[in-house]
A and B are shown apart, each in its own frame.
Chain A
Amino acid sequence: MLEIKDLRVKLEEEDKQILKGVNLTVEAGKVHAIMGPNGSGKSTLSYVLSGKDGYEVTGGSATLDGDDLLDLDPEERAALGLFLAFQYPVEIPGVGNMTFLRTAVNSQRKARGEEAMSSTEFLKEIRAKAKELKIDAEMLKRPVNVGFSGGEKKRNEILQMAMLEPRMCILDETDSGLDVDAMKLVADGVNALRNEGRGFLVITHYQRLLDHIKPDVVHIMADGRIVKSGGPELALEVENNGYADILAEVA
């Protein structure tokens, strides 16, 4: 599904290489996790895949079911079914959460040549999905993420994911700033979306999120490369011994 080959990326503004040849394939129905120390390039990978400005691809490729992602605008990537759950969801004063989500759903449908979702249908869907994530109606009426707690912002990300039904979901440090209960709620939301046709790439510092969202494959990223891949036991190894041992081993 998501195929990344020898991806090399530098910052546009300064001569700093962040990704130095990333190779990664996420198959449909699988959950891959990327772990790694600060500054290893995990978040950069998520931004480059979703199309944020400020990065220059100097080599390699990234495709989603064969479509070249790197040439597309962020909205085109989204319409193809790519979704990034942000580490820091952005507050947008004045834009209502409902208006935002409905515009997003229908923009994607339009781009794919599908019928727009009617407002009745949309309301029904969003109410049901918000309820599962314990998001109250008041939160839906508020401007996007404005005045939301850390946990509410992350739940709002998962709600968006549930409404947009992407094929490939990237979760960038979705556990940061969450207490155990909030993390459980978010993980339940993600698990409910797991199915055979959907791939996940879960970026995290800590193993604890992976207790709730069980990965099929765990990758360790360091200095802009995937340095080791393995099963879920690799995450436990990090939890117990830190990154130092693994990095020493591959060095």
Chain B
Amino acid sequence: MNALLKSKQEAAATRLDSASLPAAAGWSKAAREDALARVRSTGLPSRRDEYWKYTRPDALTQADATEADVFKSDEPLVFDSFDRLKVVFVDGVFSAELSDDLALEGIEIARLAEAADISWASELYGTLEAKGQSPVERPLAALNTALATDGVLIRCTKTPSKPVSLIYRRDSTTADAMLHHVVKVEAGASLTLLENGPGAARLNKCLEALVADGAEFHHVRAQGRDHARSAATHMFVELGRESVFKSFTLTVNGKLTRNECVIEFTGDDAIAHVAGAALGDGDFVHDDTVFVTHDAVNCESRQVFKKVLRNGATGVFQGKILVQPGAQKTDGYQKSQSLLLDGDSQFLAKPELEIYADDVACSHGSTSGAIDEDALFYLRARGIPEGIATDLMTLAFLAEAVEEVEDDALKGEITGRLEGWLLRHSRA
């Protein structure tokens, strides 16, 4: 056994020694034990793993969460003005008091920690995550399947009248939360899932979603302006025939964020777009890691990631499109761009294409650059102060990712928040 694997396994053993399977595991016990065995065998991520080359995983793998100050603001939370079904977690624990009644026509919502044996969920829990471990290991997701203490199981059978909104409030400076959600959008149904808030001092969150034939799953997430926290999130999404998945994430601040998205096309003629806009300052580290597998004919995938970095912030993008033999007429594209507002910030990108079919269109574009000086001068020559001019160009740069949000009201909410945060900063 090589030394790296041994040290990773030891790290896993140490971490697991202090943990125990949730008492109410019940129906999910088998999946959790299976995941536990996987973590023990792969070990926890290490800086020396190729997949963690650009982002130091230590804060995510160590035994306890690093103490993190809670960000306080008196502005309304993102999505507050929307009619939605609220499901609130405080420091990673479901709050019935703060949440709405979970009954909504067309949808069944159950709390992971309390759910009795629900057959659809027991078939899914840990399944997509386990599948997503190959060809690249994602031990933090397996750890999550094994140890998650809360989360929701959402089955959408018809199109509900409003979005489901998961709100992750954070009160404690030390909470170490592990949330696991399972979503199943049945054939022909459409679900919009909103997520916002930092979650916990350290958040490990996993979302498994099965989007059935002809179904749509729209996901819009805002990770909060909390800076001191760290987060590792995974989305595992499997797409049926003619289904649609669209995901957008807004990240402003955060000392460490690793957002992994693993998408698999299993039915023909499906569409998946995953996008992200990130705005980082100072000791901000943000890593988008995406893996799209085309295993069906005539599917379209898009990855659009934009990052604006200043004062030494770091942005990472690892994106892969894998086209399996027979996945003809695949249309895959990935774009990752960064706007570096100074020489101290850095953007590290690893775009990958691996193609085993001959009739496909796959490409990637990765750029990183400074602000356009000519454009900046043009704006200033019209009387716009440098700070505001920079903000206008920053918003313009991020707009392409925000455009991926299909719903106009939600798109407006994201743009409005970005404008508010940016322009306040420059007018201060």
Contact = CB atoms under 8 A, between A and B. Distances in A.
Interface of A: 50-53, 73-75, 77-79, 84, 86, 89-95, 99-101, 103-105, 107-108, 111, 143-144, 160, 164
Contact of A94 (B378, B383, B397): B397
Contact of A50 (B381, B384, B392, B399): B381
7 contacts: A77-B381, A90-B372, A91-B375, A92-B375, A94-B399, A104-B383, A107-B384
Contact of A104 (B384, B393, B396): B384
Interface of B: 372-375, 377-386, 388-389, 392-393, 395-397, 399-400
A124 B351 CA distance: 48
A217 B230 CA distance: 67
A107 B386 CA distance: 11
Given A92-B396, A95-B396, A100-B392, A73 B386 contact: yes
Nearest to B387: A75
Given A53-B373, A103-B392, A74 B399 contact: no
Contacts of A111: 383, 385
B149 to A, nearest CB: 43
A92 B384 contact: no
With a 10 A CB-CB cut-off, give which of A74, A89, A160 has the most chain B CB atoms: A74
Contacts of B380: 51, 73-75, 78
Contact of B392 (A74, A86, A95): A95
Closest 3 interchain pairs by CB?
A: A94-B396, A78-B383, A108-B383
Contacts of A99: 392
A18 to B, nearest CB: 18
Nearest to A104: B382
With a 10 A CB-CB cut-off, give which of A77, A78, A89 has the most chain B CB atoms: A78
Given A51-B381, A75-B381, A94-B393, 13 more contacts: A52-B377, A73-B380, A75-B383, A75-B384, A78-B380, A78-B381, A78-B382, A89-B378, A92-B379, A95-B379, A103-B388, A107-B384, A164-B383
Contact of A95 (B373, B393, B400): B393
Nearest to A84: B381
Contacts of A93: 396
A143 B372 CA distance: 15
Contacts of A100: 379, 382, 384, 392
B422 to A, nearest CB: 12
Contacts of B400: 94
A160 B396 contact: no
Contacts of A86: 378, 381
Contact of A74 (B372, B375, B377, B388): B377
B379 to A, nearest CB: 7
A131 B379 CA distance: 23
Nearest to A105: B383
B385 A75 contact: yes
A90 B384 contact: no
Nearest to A103: B384
Contacts of B393: 92, 94-95
A90 B386 CA distance: 16
B379 A79 contact: no
B305 to A, nearest CB: 16
Contacts of A52: 377, 381
Contacts of A91: 375
B388 A94 contact: no
A93 B383 CA distance: 19
A91 B392 CA distance: 14
B340 to A, nearest CB: 17
A94 B395 contact: yes
B392 to A, nearest CB: 5
Contacts of B385: 73, 75, 107, 111
A201 B248 CA distance: 50
A105 B384 CA distance: 8
A15 to B, nearest CB: 22
A200 B375 CA distance: 24
B412 to A, nearest CB: 14
A101 B384 CA distance: 9
With a 10 A CB-CB cut-off, give which of A89, A108, A144 has the most chain B CB atoms: A144
Contacts of A107: 383-385, 388
A183 B163 CA distance: 54
A78 to B, nearest CB: 4
A97 B399 CA distance: 15
Nearest to A79: B383
A55 to B, nearest CB: 12
Nearest to A99: B392
A101 B395 CA distance: 16
A92 B206 CA distance: 39
A113 B381 CA distance: 19
Contacts of A94: 393, 395-397, 399-400
A53 B377 contact: yes
Nearest to A78: B383
A204 B389 CA distance: 29
B382 A164 contact: yes
A42 B399 CA distance: 38
A87 to B, nearest CB: 12
Contacts of A84: 381
Contacts of B372: 90, 92
A86 B372 CA distance: 16
Contacts of A103: 384, 388, 392
Given A95-B392, A103-B388, A74 B381 contact: yes
Contacts of A104: 379, 382-384
B378 A92 contact: yes
A249 B380 CA distance: 41
Contacts of B397: 94
B424 to A, nearest CB: 15
Contacts of B399: 94
Contacts of A144: 378
A108 B384 CA distance: 7
A92 B378 CA distance: 9
